Amino acid sequence: MTEDLRIGVFVCECGHNIAGTVDCEAVRAHASTLPDVVVAQRNRYTCSDPGQQQIKQAIAAHNLNRIVVAACTPRLHEPTFRACLAQAGLNSYLLDMANIREQCAWVHQSDPVGATRKAMDAVTMAVARARHLNAQKEIEMPVARAALVIGGGIAGIQASLDLADAGHQVYLVEKQPSIGGKMAQLDKTFPTMDCSI
Amino acid sequence: MMDAGRHPRIKLLAYSEIVSVSGYVGNFSVRVRKKARYVDESACTACGDCAKVCPIVVPNEFEVGLGSRKAIYIPFPQAVPSAYVIDHANCLGDVPIACGKCRDICEIKCIDFDQQDQIINLDVGAIIVATGLDVYDPSALDEYGYTRHENVVTSLEFERLIDAGGPTGGHLIRPSDRKPPKRIGFIQCVGSRTLSGNGDPSASSGQRLSRGRPYCSNICCMNTVKDSLLLKDHYPDTDISVFYMDIRAFGKGFEDLYRRSKEAGVKYIRGLPGEVVEDPVSGNLLLTVDNTTQGRVEQHELDMVVLSIGLVPSEDQAHIKKLLTLSQTDEGFLLESHPKLKPVDTPTRGVYLAGCAEGPKDIKDSVTQASAAAARAQIVLNSDKLKVEAITACVDREVCTGCGLCAKVCPYSAILADSKTKMIAQVLEAKCAGCGACSAECRFDAITMRHFSDAALTAQIDAALAENPENKIVTFACNWCSYAGADYAGVSRMQYPPNARIIRTMCSGRIDEDFILRAFQLGAPVVLVSGCHYADCHYINANRWTQKRVDRLWDRLERKGIRPERLQLEWISAAEGAKFATVMREAERIRQGVTPEEIELTRRVLAEEG
Amino acid sequence: MGENVTFKCLRCGHEFCGVYDTDVERMCPKCRSNSVRRVKDKPAPPAHPPKK
């Protein structure tokens, strides 16, 4: 690796969601001692606009080239923070997240000491991983401009009509010889008391 | 329905089934089997001459068996497509001596006994799953006597009996003597909100579910309110009793209907009958019920009883779930990406849910969700190009020996290699989904996963075990299921010991044996490998390699004198937060049984090996 | 088809017989763990029960 690593760590309190169990200041302080970490900050809500603004400012001010966000699960906000990096001019793959909410604060509510220790390790692990991350280029794929709808009951019919009315080709596959589903068997339907077909 | 049948951009494939699905968001290849209908769908005018001469009479499914149909039939008069179909199992066939009457009488000659099933290939960018529901079968609830008493019917049967298009032309009669019932009772929550049998671990899931499901089916209260108003409208002097535990009239306009029903004289009695007994002479039904509002046991004599049956997941759903690698909840409905924020998305990108496939709901909610799913799908369909996450495999041409093992384990045939010619492996990036099974399998470390490299994962293991490794449980979790299951445990606030150090990979098939051995060498007392259930693997079957590697490691560990129990393997779905928590507690119990001497010995044995 | 083999649960220690099939998930019938290992040094029970 030729460039110097400059890592920024952002520890989210998520209101009381994380800070209610995990000592976020201790986690932040721990992060600042890790190799190549040049800045470690704490936010009330890192995913909020001010939180993201703080990341962007830190990237500019400290010339950061790797970002670690210790917050919720990456399955929720990885896209958010990837976009934030991109806006700050960093490749979005130079991000790692430490899951200190779903897999830490929320599951160890009666053990703040254990939870804080686990959160610190999660940040250590994320920083370790971040040191080995590289910029990536996403490949682009063409999109087949048609949709498949499986099931011709009321839901399948409505979805098909919406897509078709919006201009897309739709294939509506129904197992039975007719569409209509269970709804067609009903006489009248609530709340309008009208007929189903 | 008609609109969908004649829309120029909707190709209706009725009487068809999905055979296979491959590809990914934006580029799914789907094979559909269009079953032989033996009637030319586009030519048939639905004149019905064929059915008149058909000699075969069978129960009509649409009328839930209350009416009959022929072997050549139209499911119901307003069917779309408006065409007859031959029920192959019951038709006598084309042999002239046997039958062939329908073909002879058809004026436009649209009946073709030689029609074959057709396979149709489709290329689509997005898929909406709207596989619907089945209704609960109350046969197992012996106390209500559905299978024994003719005048006990289900709410679906009642719909057909009161429908002007139904077998009685909309004249409500009771089955035993075809007389109009004057006293009708509705029993609510049949097959819903039932926990009985669930506590018995030895009961099979079929036994556990036969008496009912634990959830509220959402529609049955309002369906009964609606039926009571229909009855009061058509037959004002009918005496109607509704036996319930709670009436849930939560939707817009629902409370108003409920009030109208009460004002019309419908009696709502809080309490579910313990028993329905039939008078063998009159066919009338005697119900015994604990009226919990009045605090007394009552008896009601009724002419007819309607069981307000609940909704259960559709049988066809399991097949679709497997084809699209979706997950399901404990209740058997398809799992959404997030219960509040992504209610129509699924873990498989480009696949969306609509209607009762996702959970019991009424027509309005089904329509709303269908429109939401259509809008979500359009985000994909309206994109010119879709970006694919840069997590694919790269081959180091200097290191690759051309052994071809990587190509063997790739579930997508995305690697070109040939063990005979020893050609350097080549990754077809457009086909690679990024599971990493090849990288774990390569014995020469010649394959790097972009963004999930060996170096990064190894650094995570090292960091996890840098301090007090004896307290840690190194846990590998796959992005789609077990990591999501761990998140779900968090969302549900399920508590477990804080010893796990979780490392995320896209697939459990990515987990190299070297990672696990390194963890043990660094002093980990327990290593847990977790992934999707076999049926849920998001990379077709890449997790079969996980099992093989763990099997191999168990043997290897044992040969080295390391207890195989210290390597745990669990399949945990995205919905199994409870299982994740249990697994964590069990892993901690195992960790406490690992002695410092044992850890030290392991370190030495593995260090000697190098 | 798969052969009949002995399995051992590495969570609770329970041993049981079952069919070895690489396409079927293994689960301990006692504790529901998937840490189920095939025991190789044990003589496998006959593949089919003797016919009467």
Residue B441, amino acid = E
Helices (H), B65-204: 101-105, 155-162
**Given its phi and psi angles, is residue B534 left (phi above 0), alpha (psi -120 to 50 degrees) or beta?**
alpha
Sign of CA dihedral B149, B155, B161, B166: negative
* B383 interfacial to chain A (CB closer than 8 Å): yes
Subunits with 3+ C-beta pairs closer than 8 A to A? B
- Count residue pairs from B and C with Cβ separation < 8 A: 39
Find, among B206, B225, B210, the residue nearest to B308 by Cα. Answer: B225
Spatial CB neighbours of A103, under 8 Å, sequence gap ≥ 6: A73, A122, B486, B487, B489, B490, B500, B502
Whether residues B548 and C37 touch (CB distance < 8 A) is answered with: no
Q: Of B193 and B331, which is predicted with more confidence?
A: B193
Whether residues B10 and A160 touch (CB distance < 8 A) is answered with: yes
Chain B nearest CA to C39, separation (Å): 10
Pairing assessment for the beta strands C3-9 and B567-571 based on DSSP bridges: unpaired
Sign of CA dihedral B438, B444, B449, B452: positive
CA distance A176 to B1: 14
The band of B610, judged by pLDDT with boundaries at 50, 70 and 90, is: low
pLDDT of C48 = 53
Taking CB atoms and an 8 Å cutoff, what residues of chain B touch C38? 551
- Packing angle of the helix pair A24-32, A112-130 (nearest 10 deg): 30
- In angstroms, what CA-CA distances link B382 with A160, B95, B254, B374, B375? 16, 52, 38, 12, 10
Chain C nearest CA to B482, separation (Å): 13
- Give residue-wise pLDDT tens across range B540-592: 889 999 999 999 999 999 999 999 999 999 999 999 999 999 999 999 999 99
Helices (H), B34-184: 49-53, 101-105, 155-162
Taking CB atoms and an 8 Å cutoff, what residues of chain B touch A122? 501-502
Which of A118, A134, A153 has the CB atom closest to B355's CB atom?
Answer: A153
The two three-digit tokens of residue B139, written as one number: 């046969």
Q: Quick one: what percent of chain B has pLDDT higher than 70? A: 97
Find, among A24, A126, A93, C35, the residue nearest to B502 by Cα. Answer: A126
Chain A nearest CA to B590, separation (Å): 18
pLDDT of A2 = 57
Which of B5, B374, B390 has the CB atom closest to A93's CB atom?
Answer: B390
Per mean pLDDT, which range of A27-36, B387-396, B554-563 is the poorest? B387-396
Whether residues A139 and B388 touch (CB distance < 8 A) is answered with: yes
**Residue B470: Cβ-neighbour burial (10 angstroms; 0-12, 13-18, 19+):** middle
Q: Is the peptide bond before B201 cis (omega within 30 degrees of 0)?
A: no
Q: What value does the mean pLDDT take over residues B158-178?
A: 92
- Give residue-wise pLDDT tens across range B21-70: 988 889 999 999 999 999 999 999 999 999 999 999 999 999 998 899 99
- Give residue-wise pLDDT tens across range B475-496: 999 999 999 999 999 999 999 9
- In sequence order, the β-bridge partners of residue B476 are B503, B529
- Distance between alpha carbon B251 and the CA centroid of its chain, in Å? 26
CA distance B358 to B256: 28
* B4 interfacial to chain A (CB closer than 8 Å): yes
Chain C nearest CA to B388, separation (Å): 30
Pick from C11, C24, C26, C40 the residue to mutate for testing the B interface (most B CBs within 10 Å): C11
For residue B335, the 8-state DSSP code is P
Whether residues B568 and C10 touch (CB distance < 8 A) is answered with: yes
In the predicted model, what is the mean pLDDT of chain B? 93
pLDDT of B540 = 81
The two three-digit tokens of residue C43, written as one number: 């003589």
Subunits with 3+ C-beta pairs closer than 8 A to B? A, C
Whether residues C33 and B533 touch (CB distance < 8 A) is answered with: no
Find, among B479, B472, B522, B476, the residue nearest to B497 by Cα. Answer: B472
pLDDT of C45 = 52
Chain C nearest CA to B543, separation (Å): 10
Question: Does pLDDT of B95 surpass 80?
Answer: no
Which of A93, A134, A159 has the CB atom closest to B354's CB atom?
Answer: A159
Asked if B473 and B530 count as a contact pair (C-beta separation under 8 A), the reply is no
- Count residue pairs from A and B with Cβ separation < 8 A: 362
Q: Quick one: what percent of chain A has pLDDT higher than 90? A: 87
Q: What value does the mean pLDDT take over residues A29-42?
A: 97
Question: Does pLDDT of B206 surpass 70?
Answer: no
Taking CB atoms and an 8 Å cutoff, what residues of chain B touch C33? 568, 570, 583, 586
pLDDT of C42 = 57
Taking CB atoms and an 8 Å cutoff, what residues of chain B touch A146? 122-125, 381
pLDDT of B541 = 86
Find, among B495, B511, B491, B513, the residue nearest to B503 by Cα. Answer: B511
Taking CB atoms and an 8 Å cutoff, what residues of chain A touch B392? 139
- In sequence order, the β-bridge partners of residue B504 are B477
Pairing assessment for the beta strands B16-24 and B27-34 based on DSSP bridges: antiparallel
Q: Which fold has domain B456-609?
A: Rossmann fold (3.40.50)
CATH code at B134-312 = 3.50.50.60
- In angstroms, what CA-CA distances link B345 with B331, B351, B490? 18, 7, 20
- Give residue-wise pLDDT tens across range A54-73: 999 999 999 999 999 999 99
- Give residue-wise pLDDT tens across range C4-16: 999 999 999 999 9
pTM for this predicted structure: 0.76
CA distance B309 to A75: 38
- Give residue-wise pLDDT tens across range A155-181: 999 999 999 999 999 999 999 999 999
Asked if B320 and B303 count as a contact pair (C-beta separation under 8 A), the reply is no
Q: If you search the block for the tokens 């009793």, which residue do you land on?
A: B241
Chain B nearest CA to C37, separation (Å): 7
- Give residue-wise pLDDT tens across range A139-157: 888 999 999 999 999 999 9
Taking CB atoms and an 8 Å cutoff, what residues of chain B touch C25? 533-535, 571
CA distance B130 to A171: 13
Asked if B71 and B171 count as a contact pair (C-beta separation under 8 A), the reply is no
Question: Does pLDDT of A197 surpass 70?
Answer: no
Whether residues A168 and B357 touch (CB distance < 8 A) is answered with: no
Chain B residues in contact with chain C using a Cβ-Cβ cutoff of 8 Å:
533-535, 541, 544, 547-548, 551, 554-555, 564-565, 567-571, 583, 586, 590
Which of C23, C33, C37 has the CB atom closest to B554's CB atom?
Answer: C37
The residues of chain C scoring below 70 in pLDDT are: 1, 41-52
Query: Nearest-CA residue of chain B relative to A35?
Result: B463
The band of B199, judged by pLDDT with boundaries at 50, 70 and 90, is: very low
Whether residues B17 and A102 touch (CB distance < 8 A) is answered with: no
ipTM of the complex: 0.84
Which of A157, A159, A175 has the CB atom closest to B17's CB atom?
Answer: A175
Find, among A167, A120, A116, A168, the residue nearest to A147 by Cα. Answer: A168
Q: If you search the block for the tokens 């269970």, which residue do you land on?
A: A182
pLDDT of B196 = 61
- Give residue-wise pLDDT tens across range B110-121: 999 999 999 999
Q: Quick one: what percent of chain B has pLDDT higher than 90? A: 81
Structural domain C4-43, CATH architecture: Single Sheet (2.20)
Per DSSP (E only), the strands in B404-472 are 415-418, 423-427, 447-449
Which of A148, A164, A193 has the CB atom closest to B122's CB atom?
Answer: A148
The upper half-sphere exposure of residue B361, i.e. CA atoms within 13 Å in the direction of its Cβ, equals: 22
Name the residue ranges covered by the structural domains of chain B.
Answer: 134-312, 393-449, 456-609
pLDDT of B431 = 80
Query: Nearest-CA residue of chain C relative to B572?
Result: C34
In the predicted model, what is the mean pLDDT of chain A? 95
CA distance B22 to B413: 12
- Give residue-wise pLDDT tens across range B311-333: 999 988 999 998 888 888 878 89
Structural domain B393-449, CATH architecture: 2-Layer Sandwich (3.30)
Are there at least 3 beta-carbon pairs closer than 8 Å between A and B? yes
Name the residue ranges covered by the structural domains of chain C.
Answer: 4-43
Query: Nearest-CA residue of chain A relative to B316?
Result: A175
Asked if B188 and B242 count as a contact pair (C-beta separation under 8 A), the reply is yes
The two three-digit tokens of residue B356, written as one number: 């009762």
pLDDT of B201 = 46
